[in-house]
Structure 1
Amino acid sequence: MIEKQWKVPWELIEVIEDIRVTLQSLQGNIIHIFREGNTVVDALANEVIEAQNTKEKQINMDNSQIPNLRIRTRRISRQ
């Protein structure tokens, strides 16, 4: 639907158009990925949901552009 390969149902027209505009402004693109490729993303999403009450969250990208999540739950004092 976003790539105009399928007809958009009337109830989703505004949402799809917002997604298209956002993708264009971010110069983003959409690619297909098999289910096995979503394992890391699913794990990161679960970590973020579980860490909603932590004080500090940070998502970083490594050299391969693979995201990793850093959550600080307590301060470690150095002596």
Structure 2
Amino acid sequence: MSPRDSVTSAPEKKRTRNREQPTPDKERVRAYKARKRETHKALSLFIRSDLKEALIKLCELEGTTQAEVLETLIEAQARNKGLL
């Protein structure tokens, strides 16, 4: 009987997980924007400063984003005009 046989189990080499590198921030942002473009369109505009402040206050009161408030206002106006 060899000395190795007397040990019930031989210690195995510790396994390490095969971890992938985390996705860089730029790639995650690019993927997010690509997904968003499938259902949304970008909007760039200038509005008066006082209206911008009012928009910010509306967002704070409702707990929503500026985009959500603008979408709601546009949707309401479009429904009133019979466009939706």
Shorter-chain TM-score bucket reads 0.3 to 0.5
**More helix by percentage:** 2
Q: Give TM-score, length-normalised by structure 2.
A: 0.35
Q: Give TM-score, length-normalised by structure 1.
A: 0.36
Structure label with greater radius of gyration: 2
